[in-house]
Amino acid sequence: MKRIPTQDVKQRSRAVSQLFQSYQPYDHKVGERQMVLVTEIAHDGRHLVAHNKSYDQVLLKDKEGLMGKMVEVEITSAGKHFLMADIVEGSLSAAPQLPSPLPQGAVSGVPEGLRSRTTSKHARMSKHDMLQFFLPVFAGALFVLILRVLGPAVGQWL
């Protein structure tokens, strides 16, 4: 394959860069009010990251107690890959169908008694904790096994 001259490569690269910089995909959303779910802390540590129903990234000023909550916001500005917004006063919604978020660093699915224990290699589960943790898994597996074995027989009776 023939090599393209450097000047042509630079010209094409400038044209593509200019095209990329020319459009702003979120400008039409400035001024809108939207409901968003606050999900995480932004990398800069000064903003919270939220997402609207289109999963657009919305940045909010960090406020205590917003993590995991639905809030109404007004979009104030837009960038290439994000929206900036202010919280509409009095719009805090606790989203009662959702459980409250775990503390930072906590692992979901681990019984409450084990969350506070050390994670060193010497930490041991008690028999009670093991039973509490593994019994639902074992019961589910046993149920599936019984259905597979007895399923055809039960189907004949019906």
Q: What is the pLDDT of residue 116?
A: 58
Pairing of strands 83-87, 57-61: parallel
Greater model confidence, 65 or 57 = 57
Sequence-ordered list of residues with C-beta below 8 angstroms from that of 132, at least 6 positions apart, any chain: 111
CA-based nearest residue to 93, from 37, 55, 148? 37
Q: What is the pLDDT of residue 119?
A: 52
For 141-150, the pLDDT digits (tens) are 888 888 787 7
Average pLDDT score, the chain: 82
Strands (E), 3-156: 33-41, 47-51, 57-61, 70-78, 83-87
